[in-house]
Chains A and B, each alone.
Chain A
Amino acid sequence: MKKNETLRTPSTPSRFKVGDRVQVRDMPNMFYTRTQNYVRGVTGTIAACTYKDLIPEDEAFNYDGRLEQYYIIRFRQKDLWEEYPFDNDTLQTEFPDRWLDPLETGQNRKK
């Protein structure tokens, strides 16, 4: 948090915990976005909850000044890329809550 933010700054609900399976949404871009093309629509696993922060203003259609939980998501390289030859390799990257959809409850299982 920036120095002038306090614990009273409202937060959006944090919907996920470590181990949850999530899918990266493919929302229309504002001009600049930190959600890479190569992860859109891909399913991964919450590897860590990192911090709460404001969404950058130029990313948010409905910027409302609320803090949002950020997460590190772990993907299998085989799920990110066609014909990736190595089974074990993974990639991690970070998203705020709004960029993630839960998988159906029945499919939510630890990787």
Chain B
Amino acid sequence: MADKHSHAGDDHDHKAAPMVEEITDYEVLEIAVRELAIEHGLFTTEDHRKFTEWAESIGPAAGSRLVAKAWTDPAFKARLLKDGTEACKEVGVDWAEPTGVGTPSDYTNFRILEDTPTLHHVIVCTLCSCYPRPLLGMSPEWYRSTNYRRRLVRWPREVLAEFGLILPPEVEIRIEDSNQKCRFMVLPVRPQGTEKWTEQQLAAIVTRDCMIGVALPRPGRTADVHPVHEARRPVHSASEHGKAAE
């Protein structure tokens, strides 16, 4: 598999892209099962269209803007900490979209997790990989893997080290396992050397991985890079590390 890059400020780019010149059974299967599901009344064409458009519209740019605004506007940051769901509207994100009651979690309540020099947050959903999609777009494959979900809660420092992030023991690592209807995102510490930067310059270094908590923002770092070297099968760490998260 090639390296998969995610750039800060990326939305899903839907300019015309070259297509593969064959129709795979996967493509055919997706259409077939969807048509049958609609015919059986499992959902409507209209709802599917609405959710497809929504999935295509979301990306990490909104999250980057949110962080940059919080870094430069203390009054906004205070509002964000007090009522995350409401404050998101100020960067154009309404958690009630697209259905009026939110995404399939029904009611969602957004909370920002503020890092400090002695407190570092990282998000996970061990049960099913819930993710703050209105702010970050669709979750990356590694976030959904049992490898990440089981091991992060049990061995957070090992997992972060695999992403290249090593923190001293004095720093509290706080894992947020989103098992109910709250959705979370990390507000990283603003890095040194950015004191006179504009919001746009700041947003460019706030990548998706920084807002999940597996990377720290820094000047010059505008992309998340994951060389793929892990096994395709999720790691079952029970034998290696003792009792893992079940």
User: Interface of A with B (CB < 8 Å)?
Assistant: 1-3, 34-38, 48, 50-51, 53, 70, 72, 74, 77, 80-83, 86-96
Q: How many contacts A-B (CB < 8 Å)?
A: 88
Interface residue? B185 (CB, 8 A):
no
Contact A91 B153 (CB under 8 A): yes
Given the contacts A34-B179, A34-B180, A93-B179, A86 and B242 also touching, CB distance less than 8 Å: no
* Alpha-carbon separation in the docked complex, A83 to B126 (Å): 21
Contacts A36-B127, A50-B182, A89-B173 known; 11 new A-B pairs at CB < 8 A = A2-B106, A3-B101, A36-B126, A38-B246, A70-B180, A77-B156, A90-B174, A90-B175, A92-B174, A92-B177, A96-B180
| Residue total for B at the interface (Cβ-Cβ under 8 A) | 30
Smallest CB-CB separation from A92: which chain B residue? B176
Interface residue? B79 (CB, 8 A):
no
Contact B182 A94 (CB under 8 A): yes
Contact A88 B246 (CB under 8 A): no
Smallest CB-CB separation from A34: which chain B residue? B179
Please, what's the 1-or-0 string for B148-172, where 1 marks a CB less than 8 Å from any CB in chain A?
A: 0000011011000000000001111
* Residues of B close to A53: CB separation below 8 A: 107, 181
Shortest distance between the CB of A53 and any CB in chain B (Å): 6
- Could you pull out 26 A-B pairs where Cβ atoms are within 8 angstroms? A1-B107, A36-B126, A36-B127, A36-B179, A37-B245, A37-B246, A38-B126, A38-B246, A50-B111, A51-B109, A70-B182, A80-B153, A81-B243, A82-B243, A83-B242, A88-B170, A89-B157, A89-B172, A90-B175, A91-B153, A91-B174, A91-B177, A92-B175, A92-B177, A94-B180, A96-B180
Chief secondary structure at chain A's binding surface: mixed
* Residues of B close to A36: CB separation below 8 A: 126-127, 177, 179, 245-246
Smallest CB-CB separation from A72: which chain B residue? B182
* Alpha-carbon separation in the docked complex, A35 to B180 (Å): 9
* Residues of B close to A35: CB separation below 8 A: 179
* Residues of A close to B101: CB separation below 8 A: 2-3
* Alpha-carbon separation in the docked complex, A72 to B177 (Å): 10
Interface residue? B100 (CB, 8 A):
yes
* Residues of B close to A37: CB separation below 8 A: 245-246
Interface residue? B178 (CB, 8 A):
yes
* Alpha-carbon separation in the docked complex, A91 to B176 (Å): 6
Contact B179 A38 (CB under 8 A): no
Contact B171 A88 (CB under 8 A): yes
